[in-house]
Amino acid sequence: MTAKAQTVLATTTDGRISAIRGGVVDVVFDGAVPRIHDLLYAGDIALEVAGLIGHGKVRAMAMAPVRGLGLGMTVTATGGPIKVPVGDAVLGRMLDVFGAPIDGRPAPVATEHRAIHQPPPLLSERAPQSKILETGIKAIDLLSPIERGGKTGLFGGAGVGKTVLITELINNTVQHHQGVSLFCGIGERSREAEELYREMGEAGVREKTVMLFGQMNEAPGVRFLVGHTALTMAEYFRDDKGQDVLLLIDNIFRFVQAGSEVSGLLGRMPSRVGYQPTLATELAGLEERITSTKRGAITSIQAVYVPADDFTDPAAAHIFSHLSASVVLSRKRASEGLYPAVDPLASASVMLTPSVVGQRHYDIAREVRRTLAEYEELRDIIAMLGLEELSSADRATVGRARRLERFLTQPFFTTGSFSGVEGKLVPIEDTLSGCETILSQTEFEHPESAYYMIGGLDDLENAS
């Protein structure tokens, strides 16, 4: 179903274009005036009402380049907002903000269509207790556990394994949690979209995944709304089918950026550092829909770009206020071949408390962090004087830290086809037992290399 083919819900008077400013179009109606978020059409170009100016005039943002539009041109109101298909028909598909296919296949035949703008669940409908979503990835489950129904920030530049980690999380959710995954690309490059589509097909997880893209070359209105389209589809699986949904957003900063572009075009006075004055409410309108209810949960992993590494930037600060966990991918660890390249000292989670994960998990995670932090402090001494100059206690600390670093690596299912190593899904209990064993040792039977790319410590004998 194309965007143009959406059902007209009510008959309203046609309007005419009175002004065009970049991607913003002013439309005058002589009769009934459409509401905010209503969908209009000027020829084949879709417009969404963003503001009511008065005297029958509305201001709308264009969902496509405005070439071909002219003053006085007729505009048709559909009588309702953008509606997208929901349900099993969208699984395995690559779609745009209107739910129209961009994978070269026929349009999904869905029995139901829903408006992309929905209120967040009521407090009475939300699940009151916090639960951990077990990912099977040792470094994340141990040091930065993900909240079921929560929001996790994934920080990392190009080439540190962000896409591989996202693909593995999708694989583990689909294969082991009987859920569905939804990938939302906001401001994605077409190269990244094509690679992800192909990789998911090769990994065998595409049929339980929906991919939505508002690409970098598209209008800011499209990039601003594609996140709401993704959440509408995710909410169907959570609320109607009672499934757990993993929602991956890459990149949430580009949602803020698109909102800033739209705000500027609409003529709003910019706020601090040039951002839109409505930054907090726009972000909250999207983020508050991501939650767990009594029927199911939407758990979100969001890639976050931090402008100029300035964590006080208003966009970064507002995004952080919604996150329950942060996973930082380190270029230094990636250069050493330690994949996933999760930085154990920079990653954190509000779930890592004794009341949620238990006292044992909390104590082991703290001890692992303390050991790795001590090793970081000793690195300069080792580089200058050598390992032999350290005391026996420090040498034992270094031995434990180097083995922990390697133990927190693991082979992924999604990389098995080209690495030749079968992927491992490691239960939290095996991760805790392995780290506990390493932390209790002062003499080591196996070399450091034996701990590299294994699952639990049971695999140690085979590795050595």
Q: How far apart are CA 337 and CA 415, in angstroms?
A: 14
Assess contact for 301 and 248: CB atoms under 8 A.
yes
Neighbours of 125 (CB within 10 A): 13
Q: How far apart are CA 162 and CA 154, in angstroms?
A: 8
Q: pTM (2 decimals)?
A: 0.85
Assess contact for 115 and 46: CB atoms under 8 A.
no
pLDDT digits (tens, 9 = 90+) for 35-74: 999 999 999 999 999 999 988 999 999 999 998 899 999 9
pLDDT of 9 higher than 50? no
> What are the angstrom distances between the C-alpha of 138 and each of 53, 86, 135, 350, 413?
54, 34, 8, 17, 14
Q: How far apart are CA 72 and CA 421, in angstroms?
A: 64
What integer is the mean pLDDT of 373-377?
93
Active site residue 147: no
How does residue 463 score in pLDDT terms, banded at 50, 70 and 90?
low
Assess contact for 237 and 91: CB atoms under 8 A.
no
Active site residue 208: no
User: Which pLDDT score is estimated for 96?
Assistant: 93
pLDDT of 372 higher than 80? yes
> What are the angstrom distances between the C-alpha of 380 and each of 374, 385, 391?
11, 9, 15
Does residue 127 or residue 158 have the better pLDDT?
A: 127
Burial of 291 (0-12, 13-18, 19+ CB in 10 A): buried
pLDDT digits (tens, 9 = 90+) for 236-255: 999 999 988 999 998 899 99
How does residue 90 score in pLDDT terms, banded at 50, 70 and 90?
very high
User: Which pLDDT score is estimated for 172?
Assistant: 83
Which runs of E-coded beta strand occur in 337-455?
348-349
Active site residue 162: yes
pLDDT of 2 higher than 70? no
Helix (H, G, I), strand (E, B) or coil at 240: helix
One of 21, 189, 198, 379 is an active-site residue; which one?
A: 189
Does residue 414 or residue 219 have the better pLDDT?
A: 219
Which runs of E-coded beta strand occur in 107-208?
112-115, 132-133, 146-147, 151-155, 180-188
One of 59, 162, 238, 400 is an active-site residue; which one?
A: 162
How does residue 10 score in pLDDT terms, banded at 50, 70 and 90?
very low
CA 164, distance to chain mean position in Å, is: 13
How does residue 8 score in pLDDT terms, banded at 50, 70 and 90?
very low
